[in-house]
Amino acid sequence: MGARVAVTRFAGKGEKPSVDTILTLVQRRCLRGFLLLAIVLVALAAPLGAGGQDSETRVLAVQLDNDINPVTQEYVENAVDRAEDEGFSAMVLVLDTPGGLGSSMRGIVKRFLASKVPVIVYVAPPGSSADSAGAVIAMAADIAAMAPQTNIGSSTPISLGGEDISKDLRRKIVNDAAAYVGELAREHDRNVVAARKMVTEAANYGARDAKAIGLVEVIAPTLPALLNRVDGMKTVPKGLVLDTAGAQIEDVEMSFWQRARDFLVDPNLIALMLSIGLIGIVVELWNPGLIFPGTVGAISLILGLYGLQVLPVSLAGLLLMALAAAFFVADAFVPTHGAITLAGAILFVLGALMLFDPAGEAYQVSLPVAVAIAGTLALLLGLALTRVVRAARNPAAVGTQELVGGEAVVRRGDLVSVNGELWRAHTADNSPLVSGTHVRVERVESDLRLVVGSPMPPNEEEAH
């Protein structure tokens, strides 16, 4: 069109354009058109590229190499909430656990079942395991996966003390746990028989066996390989389609505060904190005003009570430990020559061993730790009682009575100096006091005047 206009312009002037002129005009017009087209394409590509970057596939990888307890339960549940709120394509729980509390396990299972994003449990890295409660959590995942050289299973319930449960009670608890894990496996289209055997027979499966019998869906050596293999899979029963190939992985680990709280959820540490709290408070009661023992004792007691709040405790064990504390304190006021302290130490050991019975085998105070704490308490309180008894047998050495029998130096008039203090004094026979002489205090009168002996002869002063 532009070339035709140019030709017309030349023709109107009676001139005939050359071929080179026409080609030059055409090239210029084409170049302008290409530039305009390029600008339009760049403007369109910019928002498309930005939109593609915003919609990049992301996966939240939650690292958990700890036991299952209320702190780790909160950590996992918060991760699921974040995956939902921030629009992650999936959440992967990278799991390595020996098990833990049944109540915390069930809380995690319920959160997985209600999750709106696909949840993948990946037993990894190689050498890891998902035992006991960890195996049940894996059965609740939308996708169960394992790394090579890992294992899963051994979910048989045990008694509060750690030994096998017997007879009717064992049958009741085992059947309940087997039905629970079996139903989870059935709903996720996994091997129900194998899942139940993890409970009824304490069966444990390696990664290849678990994949072969349909207990897990995928074996993958690394997390990126796992995400590529599960891409496009449709979960059962939610029907979510995974879009994870080449996804950007965002790792999540427990925060410092969560690790600190998890550290405090240790039965042995809780027993130690309670004992330190008891010692500090008892010492402060015996020696009011020291401040430091009472402060340390109060802080330790609060930390110990936090652990008691997190873990399920036995009321009988708690009462035994409270009675032990009462015995330790009572021995300071009742002359039993340490018998009550010994009884308190025995009660402390029994209470510590029973304290966390409801939490299961993984949360028990070890016998050596309980005996060591009780022995230390008895020894410290025994030493303190010895000092108390020794102080009680010594005569009082306070007030004006400590002046009797001491020496005084006559200063001027009726003033004498005793231990750097000036007192009014007179002799028993009212003889005059000579300045600079040494006299002995015989008694203290009601008006706080001292009665001193007669001045010592010079030879006695020199001998003294």
- H, E, C per residue of 166-213: CHHHHHHHHHHHHHHHHHHHHHCCCCHHHHHHHHHCCCEEEHHHHHHC
What is the torsion angle, in degrees rounded to the nearest 10, for the CA atoms of residue 210, residue 216, residue 218 and residue 224?
-110
Task: Find where tokens 């017009």 sit.
Answer: 29
- Judge whether 131 and 97 are in contact, CB under 8 Å: yes
Token pair in block for residue 249: 């992985």
> How far is CA 17 from each of CA 4, 29, 57, 209, 380, rounded to the nearest angstrom?
11, 17, 60, 86, 117
Report the pLDDT value the prediction gives residue 52, as an integer from 0 to 100: 40
Report the pLDDT value the prediction gives residue 399, as an integer from 0 to 100: 58
Q: How many helices (H) and strands (E) does the chain have?
A: 16, 14
Report the pLDDT value the prediction gives residue 27, as an integer from 0 to 100: 59
DSSP state string for 252-289: E---HHHHHHHHH--HHHHHHHHHHHHHHHHHHHHSTT
Q: How far is it, in rounded angstroms, from Cα 175 to Cα 199?
A: 8
Q: Which of 56, 140, 153 is nearest to 105 (CA)?
A: 140
Report the pLDDT value the prediction gives residue 26, as an integer from 0 to 100: 53
Q: How far is it, in rounded angstroms, from Cα 422 to Cα 403?
A: 12
8-state DSSP, 117? S
Report the pLDDT value the prediction gives residue 210, as an integer from 0 to 100: 97
Q: How far is it, in rounded angstroms, from Cα 141 to Cα 188?
A: 8
Report the pLDDT value the prediction gives residue 17, as an integer from 0 to 100: 56
Q: Which of 432, 435, 427 is nearest to 409 (CA)?
A: 435
pTM for the whole structure: 0.67
Report the pLDDT value the prediction gives residue 389, as an integer from 0 to 100: 58
CA 357 centroid distance within chain: 20
pLDDT digits (tens, 9 = 90+) for 369-398: 888 888 888 887 777 666 655 655 555 555
Report the pLDDT value the prediction gives residue 388, as an integer from 0 to 100: 58
> How far is CA 36 from each of CA 32, 316, 368, rounded to the nearest angstrom?
6, 86, 84
- Burial class of residue 223, CB neighbours in 10 A (0-12, 13-18, 19+): buried
Using 70 as the pLDDT threshold, list the residues of the chain that sit under it: 1-55, 158-168, 332-333, 335-337, 360-362, 384-402, 454-464
